[in-house]
Amino acid sequence: MANESEIEEKKTSMQLMQEEYLKSLDGIEDGQLVTGTVVQVNNEYVFVDVGYKSEGKIPREEFKELPAIGDSVSVVIVTKEGKHGQIVVSKKRADVKERTDELRSAAEGRTPIEGTFIKVIKGGFEVDLGGEYKGFCPLSKADVVRVEEPETLIGITDYFVIDKFHAGAKLKSVVSRREYLEKKIKENKEKFFSTVKIGDVVEGVVKSFTSFGAFIDLGGFDGLLHINDMSWGHVTRPKDFVKKGQVVQLRLINIDPESQKINLSLKHMNEDPWSTFEQRYHVDDVIVAPVTKLTSFGVFIEIEPGVEGLAHISELSWVKRVNNPKEVLKIGDVVNAKVLGYDLDKKRVSLGLKQLMENPWDTIAERYPVGMTLNKPVVKITNSGAFINLEEGIDGFLHIDDISWTKKLKNMAGFCKEGDSIDVVVTRVEPDNRRIRLSVKKLEDNPWQVLKKDYPKYSKITGTVSNVTEFGVFVKVIGDIEGLISKYNLVGPDEEFNDEVLQKYNVGDTITAMVIECNPITQKLSLSIKEMIKRSQQSEIAKYIHGNDDEEDTFTFADLMASKDDN
């Protein structure tokens, strides 16, 4: 009986407890959002005490981050009468309910909310707003700039302003990231202009390039890094100093709130090396440095970071014909150069490479003295002569008038062509002007001088008729020298000239005449038959007179002529 009594008491106690538990649930309703405390976590569930003498269990997968015992968790009462009479709660539904309230409130106040681009759809993007909510972001409202490649935004989490909120069907909420960005950019810009000053160091991201520099994103608005502010030295390509997407620290060198212009500098992050240039370098110093740029007029050499010098094309070699620096140097070559001069105001340094080499022109007169005979190749033909290569980089010039003493050439092609090796003699050396004159005709004696010496004035000379013209006869004599017997000198002193006289002479005839004038300088040879006859007659008279000195002086010129007629 005692046992039955005990059993009955237990039943009564359990009934009372159940009644008391059910009575405690009278204050809650299905779908109600409550806050509970995590009391236990196992491999499947998270147990939460919701404060009504009951614990709800939530599958672990409903949590993005697993809570710890003692953490507070918001849940929704699904039902207060589960299969075993326990309360059933949902963390997932609580999240949705909380997010619904957040989104509705954000839409009313146009407060930015967090979302993630998850898919490209027609006309824009599908955006995950959290709590199973999805929104639609038009392509035009996805960014402050035109979106050329929509796929690049997928996965990006940022803030959006809700233009239209709908708690029901998917994608009925319309959101705008652009409005949030524009507001943020405006705030950033206002803060920037109100807080920074010239000389401050600011941080930005390299956004894009132009021919004159690079634009730096300072938080949705741009500053300009001009090409001249990238380095203290010479800059040709902005991309050599900064890369797109690179985070850089730059110094603010100019700011204008009215025009909203911002100028930044990379070179001002370091001291201007030009300000201390004279402390480190002097004229005639020799530097060892790399070639950084090649141009048609010379090469730029980096003396140190930020300081470049120019070696003009004329300073690369004493003798080599450098038409383009690329023929002798390439970018990256390390060279020895001498400081020739500098201008700190213009930030220019003149360098020379040839000054560290021996100048062959200094000893040119020793190697090629006047009178030296050479056999060298023709390297270039011009209208007035030819250049003859003597050694690498040094040419002598043979003028067309220095080829022959007697012949007048119309062009050099009649004498030589490029590649021919010819004999020449050095006639003049000018080291200061870097000139050497050569001659072919001076390999032999001047035939004009020989002629003048061997055939003085009034000497008889024999030659060959080379041409007959209306004004006289040309006669070629020794040394291929051509003389002229004018038509009035073709007849004797007592004869009259007529056209029949010229007809007596033919090219190739041998003829003897007397030298009237021989001028080697003007190369003029005048001959005369008239003078030869005249002088011959005078000689005959002189002989006759001198042969009759003892006789009476009654003999006349007429007697002489009569005597000649008798003979």
Q: How far apart are CA 244 and CA 100, in angstroms?
A: 41
* Closest listed residue to residue 248, CA positions, set 279, 213, 205, 217: 205
- Asked if residue 337 has pLDDT above 90, the reply is yes
Strands 472-476 and 124-130: unpaired
Comparing 25 with 237, the larger pLDDT belongs to 237
Region 402-414 average pLDDT: 84
In sequence order, what are the beta bridge partners of 298? 295, 312
Supply the pLDDT for residue 288. Answer: 95
In sequence order, what are the beta bridge partners of 36? 73
Supply the pLDDT for residue 414. Answer: 82
Region 20-45 average pLDDT: 67
Instruction: Indicate the residue type of 518.
Output: C
- Asked if residue 559 has pLDDT above 60, the reply is no
- Asked if residue 23 has pLDDT above 60, the reply is no
Region 264-283 average pLDDT: 90
Supply the pLDDT for residue 226. Answer: 93
- Asked if residue 20 has pLDDT above 50, the reply is no
Supply the pLDDT for residue 6. Answer: 60
Helices (H), 357-498: 364-367, 447-454
- Give tens-digit pLDDT for 525-537: 999 988 888 888 8
Q: How far apart are CA 92 and CA 46, in angstroms?
A: 13
- Asked if residue 553 has pLDDT above 50, the reply is no
Burial of 286 (0-12, 13-18, 19+ CB in 10 A): exposed
Q: Percentage of the chain with pLDDT > 70?
A: 87
Supply the pLDDT for residue 287. Answer: 94
Supply the pLDDT for residue 387. Answer: 94
Supply the pLDDT for residue 171. Answer: 58
Supply the pLDDT for residue 566. Answer: 45
- Give tens-digit pLDDT for 215-255: 999 988 899 999 999 988 778 788 888 999 999 999 999 99
What integer best gives the mean pLDDT of the chain?
A: 84
User: What are the tokens at 329?
Assistant: 């140097």
- Asked if residue 272 has pLDDT above 50, the reply is yes
Identify the structural domains of the chain with CATH numbers, from first to last: 24-108 (2.40.50.140), 110-183 (2.40.50.140), 196-269 (2.40.50.140), 274-355 (2.40.50.140), 360-443 (2.40.50.140), 447-540 (2.40.50.140)
Supply the pLDDT for residue 556. Answer: 45
Supply the pLDDT for residue 19. Answer: 47
Residue 458, phi then psi, degrees to nearest 5: 75, 15
Comparing 451 with 178, the larger pLDDT belongs to 178
The pLDDT-based confidence of 54 (bands split at 50, 70, 90) is low
Residue 551, phi then psi, degrees to nearest 5: -85, 170
DSSP line for 234-276: --S-GGGT--TT-EEEEEEEEEETTTTEEEEESGGGS--GGGG
- Asked if residue 552 has pLDDT above 60, the reply is no
The pLDDT-based confidence of 1 (bands split at 50, 70, 90) is very low
- Give tens-digit pLDDT for 493-538: 878 888 788 888 899 999 999 999 999 888 889 999 888 888 888 8
The pLDDT-based confidence of 279 (bands split at 50, 70, 90) is very high
- Asked if residue 295 has pLDDT above 50, the reply is yes
Q: How far apart are CA 106 and CA 517, in angstroms?
A: 121
How is residue 150 annotated by DSSP? G
- Give tens-digit pLDDT for 146-170: 898 999 999 999 999 998 887 765 5
* Closest listed residue to residue 242, CA positions, set 259, 223, 261: 223
Region 87-109 average pLDDT: 79
Chain-centre distance for alpha carbon 324: 13
